[in-house]
């Protein structure tokens, strides 16, 4: 019986919070169980002990006990919330790897090194960001060694970011029930040295594939003219929409613009862009996004 190794700073910290919780819980459980046994033994019917003036209430004692529990609980909440905040919002600009889930396999698409099934290869010590979507039902990407998971939804991207700090192969498990073979929908996280990662043969890059798609669907017909907003260096910019709202052009925004273009129309333009939902697979959407991220379509 070996506990999964904690292979990142965050994983260690999660273990620490858990330990603190375990300590607090054990203390309280022992206190409660011990007191019950003690009282049952001492005040068993017929025992000759002082039973005069049993208290009906003890407001102060109760308030003190509750106060302590509240403070400890709040402390743990705060500690844990900070960690969570860091987990969800850190490494927003880390290099991305696309994960496309479907019953019952994980397609992994590394923009720089190409595709894989059920295997995510990442370099040691560097932040990486998984951008995930599902082609069918809700799945969940769970890496026990990193102590993290994130549900993977159809129709949008969810992200998971981490910094792996130990070389090795670690289990990835689907942790949102998704049908018959839910239990065998697994993958491997392969943490390799930075050098091994760099020395991988780069297959047809995503950017290349994305460019092919861009040409095939003649995006430039509109996007290099006055009828559509320009796409150069779009990624990361703040986009002004019709109606006054602003939105940051991240992966989700670009994806939405492709599958539902008339939902967020750029200010100063009309709703003329056709939708590509059903025409581009998740894989192709990812490649196109990578091409646009490269900056100069």
Partner 1 sequence: MTKSYLTPLWDWKAWLFTTDHKRIGILYALTITLFFIVGAAGAAIIRFALLSSHASLVSAELYNKAFTAHGVVMVWFFLIPSIPATLGNFLLPLMIGADDLSFPRLNLLSWYLFIAGALITLTALFIGGVDTGWTFYTPYSTMFSNSYVELAVTGVIVAGFSSILTGLNFIVTTHMKRAEGMTWMKLPLFVWSLYATSLILVLATPVLAITLFALIIERAFHIGIFDPSLGGDPLLFQHFFWFYSHPAVYIMILPGMGVVSELIAAYARRPVFGYKMIAYSSMAIGILGFFLWGHHMFVAGQSAYASMAFSILSFLIGIPSAIKVFNWVATLYKGEITLDAPMLYALGFVGLFTVGGLTGFFLAALAVDVHLHDTFFVIAHFHFIMVGGMLMAYLGGLHFWWPKITGRLYPKRLARWAAVILFVGFNITFFPQFILGYMGMPRRYAEYPDHLLWLNWISSAGTLLLALGYLLPLVYLVRSLKSGSPATDNPWDARGLEWQTTSPPPKENFLKPPVIPSHPYPYDQKAPS
Residue 215 is a binding residue for partner 1 (CB under 8 A): no
DSSP 131: E
- Distance, in Å, from the CA atom of 204 to the CA atom of 227, rounded to the nearest integer, reads 32
Nearer to partner 1, 240 or 241 (CB): 241
Footprint of partner 1 on residues 109-128 (CB under 8 A)?
A: none
DSSP 254: H
Residue 147 is a binding residue for partner 1 (CB under 8 A): yes
Q: CA 156 → CA 74, 133, 209, 285, distances in Å?
A: 34, 6, 21, 12
Query: By CB under 8 A, which span of 108-116, 122-130, 131-139, 202-210 interacts with partner 1?
Result: 131-139
- Give me the least distance between CB of 207 and partner 1, in Å please: 28
CB 80 within 8 A of CB 17: yes
Nearer to partner 1, 65 or 194 (CB): 65
CB 233 within 8 A of CB 295: yes
- Give me the least distance between CB of 127 and partner 1, in Å please: 17
Residue of the chain from 48, 60, 89, 226 that contacts partner 1 (CB under 8 A): 89
The closest alpha carbon to 158, from 211, 222, 84, 88, belongs to 88
Residue of the chain from 9, 12, 36, 168 that contacts partner 1 (CB under 8 A): 36
Residue 279 is a binding residue for partner 1 (CB under 8 A): no
- Give me the least distance between CB of 286 and partner 1, in Å please: 18
Residue of the chain from 5, 9, 12, 25 that contacts partner 1 (CB under 8 A): 25
Sequence-distant (6+) residues with CB within 8 A of 173 are: 142, 143, 144, 185, 186
Footprint of partner 1 on residues 149-208 (CB under 8 A)?
A: 149-151, 153-156, 158, 171, 173-184
> What's the first-to-final CA gap in the chain, in angstroms?
53
């Amino acid at each position: 019986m070996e506990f999964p190794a904690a292979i990142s700073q965050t994983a260690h910290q999660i273990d620490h919070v858990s330990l603190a919780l375990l300590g607090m819980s054990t203390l309280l459980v022992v206190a409660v169980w011990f007191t019950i046994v003690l009282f049952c033994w001492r005040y068993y019917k017929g025992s000759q002990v002082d039973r005069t003036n049993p208290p009906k209430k003890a407001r102060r004692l109760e308030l003190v006990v509750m106060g302590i529990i509240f403070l400890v609980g709040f402390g743990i909440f705060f500690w844990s919330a900070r960690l969570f905040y860091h987990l969800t919002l850190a490494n927003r600009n880390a290099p991305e790897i696309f994960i496309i889930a479907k019953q019952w396999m994980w397609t992994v698409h590394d923009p720089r090194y190409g595709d894989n099934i059920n295997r995510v290869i990442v370099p040691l010590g560097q932040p990486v960001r998984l951008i995930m979507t599902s082609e069918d039902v809700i799945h969940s990407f769970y890496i026990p060694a990193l102590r993290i998971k994130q549900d993977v939804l159809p129709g949008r991207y969810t992200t998971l970011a981490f910094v792996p700090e130990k070389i090795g192969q670690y289990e990835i498990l689907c942790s949102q029930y998704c049908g018959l073979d839910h239990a065998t929908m697994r993958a491997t996280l392969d943490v390799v040295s930075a050098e091994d990662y760099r020395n991988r043969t780069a297959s047809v890059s995503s950017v290349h594939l994305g460019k092919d798609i861009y040409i095939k669907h003649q995006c430039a017909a509109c996007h290099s003219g006055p009828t559509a907003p320009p796409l150069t260096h779009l990624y990361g910019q703040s986009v002004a929409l019709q109606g006054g709202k602003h939105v940051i052009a991240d992966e989700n925004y670009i994806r939405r613009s492709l599958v539902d273009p008339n939902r967020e129309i750029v200010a100063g333009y009309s709703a003329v862009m056709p939708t590509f939902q059903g025409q581009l697979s998740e894989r192709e959407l990812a490649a196109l996004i990578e091409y646009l991220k490269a900056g100069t379509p």
